[in-house]
Amino acid sequence: MTRPAFVTVLAVLLLSLIPGVSHAGAAGALGTAGNLMREEQPRADGIRHVDTKAIIAGLKALNANTYVYPMAGDNVHWTDLRDEFLPAAAAAGIDVWVLVYSPSQAGCCVSRPFKHDYVAWSREIATLARSHPNLAGWTVDDYGYDLKTFTPAYVGQMRSAAEAISPGLKFVPTVYYSQFTDAFVAEQIPLMDGVIFPFRDEPYRDTSWSWSLSYQVRQLAERLPGTEVYLMPYAHPLSHAAQKPTVSYVEAVTRKGIEHVRSGELAGVLQYKLPFVSRDLAWTRPASDNLARSGDGRLSFVVQKDTATKAGDACGATRKLTLSAGAAKRVVSFWHRDARGPSHPAGYHVKQLLLNGQVVWQRDVTADAADTWARTTVDLTAKLGGATSATLQWRLYERKGVSDYFIDVSVDDITLTGLAMGDPGVENAAVWTPTLARQGGPVYCSAQVYHENYGADLGARIAKLYAAGQAPVS
Ligand SMILES: [Ca+2]
Ligand SMILES: [Ca+2]
């Protein structure tokens, strides 16, 4: 650890010892949404109530200053919010936002007691906020999919109902990047205090790649001046995405998000369903999620289903190697695997190894057996005569574009002779992630490192970022 980082951590530790310091404020809202736990046993009334104690303890361990409380189930969510959760959160210095489901989500979730009467929600949340000032805002989930309900006239009624009661209550609907059309910005944005922006690398749908985040954040900051934008990283699997978010992915998105909070482009970072209570089913991940050949990590190269690519699109990991002095042989070996074999269409996805930018090995994904680890060895001795350093790139290359041809190529257990590089077993995403580069369209590559204790491992990293995010800027 470098000295300035140590000083920052020390400062945060010292600050956290001062009682009564409010978390919310200039640092922005740093917290999480969802994963509301019920108590394990019913009370005397026969109801398993919201487990306020466990949730607050989990949020404090995360150093969260904000919790987005989902109105997910029956009426007890509302009464427990009013009678137990809001006072306990206030005592812990935590702001609460209420999440209400939209009509399009009725198949899975209806918020009670006011269901799809959003004027009633607005009025009642505002009424509750009058006696609980830590009830800071509310959101409608998937708002942008329901603009037939949320017409400007209707939202105007919703807002007037709240403004008469709690003018400070924030209305912050959840809107995806592609939904910020010019018409939406013109008609809808003036009706809101802010938006929750879930990041999924649109126009694609992915939770492994974070390089488009800063661009999208800056675009929104530019297009929505005066509107608070709250980034929502996916800490929970996104449906139809090829991979579950890894610890290092969520950490990277959160770290960048906090930088944008510092620079004023974001108003906060609110995780989507980060598991923060240990009995949450999402706290651990099944062993079957670990697709590494050995250890927990592998390189992964993905084209998602229903995703069009074009010839020349590629994604690769490029590593700088040192050459051991006087070595007689310079050889690289690695294991690779994918789910395609001779029965699948050839001529599209190609696995490649490049030395100093030149292809030195390649194989169509269909040329080797499906779901079988294969070892490739390439002798680089002749090509490296006299050299003192070199780069090797593992890459997935689109020979022809596809429209719907899923692939996930794994690479693991690299061994080197006469050459050296760190982490050849792909166990540390922090080593590999900065080496990744995409060329053209939606070919993804990432270091996929499995964490059995996902909630604990991710929570520890987010807690550090949230603590640092709330420390004064020095
Ligand atoms: Ca490995
Ligand atoms: Ca294959």
- 473 C-alpha to ligand 1 centroid (Å): 38
- The CATH number assigned to the domain holding 339 equals 2.60.120
One pLDDT digit (tens) per residue for the chain, 474 residues: 334 444 444 444 444 443 333 334 467 999 999 999 999 999 999 999 999 999 999 999 999 999 999 998 788 999 999 999 999 999 999 999 999 999 999 998 999 999 999 999 999 999 999 999 999 999 999 999 999 999 999 999 999 999 999 999 999 999 999 999 999 999 999 999 999 999 999 999 999 999 999 999 999 999 999 999 999 999 999 998 999 999 999 999 999 999 999 999 999 999 999 999 999 999 999 999 999 999 999 999 999 999 999 999 999 999 999 998 889 999 999 999 999 999 999 999 999 999 999 999 999 999 999 999 999 999 999 999 889 889 999 999 999 999 999 999 999 999 999 999 999 999 999 999 999 999 999 999 999 999 999 999 999 999 999 999 998 865
- 337 C-alpha to ligand 2 centroid (Å): 6
Please indicate, yes or no, if residue 319 is contained in any of the structural domains: yes
Closest listed ligand to the CA of 431:
1
Say which residues have a Cβ less than 8 Å from residue 325's Cβ, sequence separation at least 6: none
Please indicate, yes or no, if residue 17 is contained in any of the structural domains: no
**Same domain membership, residue 345 and residue 260:** no
**Same domain membership, residue 304 and residue 270:** no
**Same domain membership, residue 195 and residue 140:** yes
> pLDDT at position 27, please?
78
- 182 C-alpha to ligand 2 centroid (Å): 45
**Same domain membership, residue 369 and residue 331:** yes
**Same domain membership, residue 457 and residue 406:** no
**Same domain membership, residue 149 and residue 68:** yes
**Same domain membership, residue 188 and residue 242:** yes
Please indicate, yes or no, if residue 315 is contained in any of the structural domains: yes
Please indicate, yes or no, if residue 8 is contained in any of the structural domains: no
Please indicate, yes or no, if residue 458 is contained in any of the structural domains: yes
- 411 C-alpha to ligand 2 centroid (Å): 12
Please indicate, yes or no, if residue 4 is contained in any of the structural domains: no
- 442 C-alpha to ligand 1 centroid (Å): 24
Residue-range definition of the domain harbouring residue 251: 22-286+453-469
- 378 C-alpha to ligand 2 centroid (Å): 18
Say which residues have a Cβ less than 8 Å from residue 11's Cβ, sequence separation at least 6: 471, 472, 474
89: tokens are 């959160």
Closest listed ligand to the CA of 291:
1
**Same domain membership, residue 221 and residue 129:** yes
**Same domain membership, residue 107 and residue 67:** yes
Please indicate, yes or no, if residue 407 is contained in any of the structural domains: yes
- In this structure, the number of other CB atoms found within 10 A of the CB of residue 160 comes to 12
pTM of the model as a whole = 0.92
- 300 C-alpha to ligand 2 centroid (Å): 14
> pLDDT at position 471, please?
85
- HEC profile of the chain: CCHHHHHHHHHHHHHHCCCCCCCCCCCCEEEEECCCCECCCCCCCCCCCECHHHHHHHHHHCCCCEEEEECCCCCHHHHHHHHHHHHHHHHCCCEEEEEECCHHHCCCCCCCCCCCCHHHHHHHHHHHHHHCCCEEEEEECCHHHCCCCCCHHHHHHHHHHHHCCCCCCEECCECCHHHCCHHHHHHCHHHCCEEEEECCCCCCCCCCCCCCHHHHHHHHHHHCCCCEEEEECECCCCCCCCCCCCHHHHHHHHHHHHHHHHCCCCCEEEEECCCCCCCCHHHCCCHHHCCCCCCCEEEEEEECCCCCCCCCCEEEEEEEEEECCCCCCCEEEEEEECCCCCCCCCCCEEEEEEECCEEEEEEECCCCCCCCCEEEEEECCHHHCCCCEEEEEEEEEECCCCCCCCEEEEEEEEEEECEECCCCCCCCHHHHHHHEEEECCCCEEEEEECCCCHHHHHHHHHHHHHHHHCCCCC
31: tokens are 């917290």
> pLDDT at position 19, please?
37
- 394 C-alpha to ligand 1 centroid (Å): 15
Split into its structural domains, the chain has a count of 2
| Cβ-contact 70, 97 below 8 angstroms | no
Closest listed ligand to the CA of 298:
1
- 248 C-alpha to ligand 1 centroid (Å): 15
**Same domain membership, residue 303 and residue 238:** no
- 335 C-alpha to ligand 1 centroid (Å): 10
> pLDDT at position 472, please?
80
- The CATH number assigned to the domain holding 154 equals 3.20.20.80
> pLDDT at position 473, please?
67
**Same domain membership, residue 308 and residue 165:** no
- 415 C-alpha to ligand 2 centroid (Å): 21
Closest Cα partner for 59 from 26, 87, 29, 92? Answer: 92
- 80 C-alpha to ligand 2 centroid (Å): 53
- 3 C-alpha to ligand 1 centroid (Å): 31
**Same domain membership, residue 346 and residue 410:** yes
- 407 C-alpha to ligand 2 centroid (Å): 10
Please indicate, yes or no, if residue 14 is contained in any of the structural domains: no
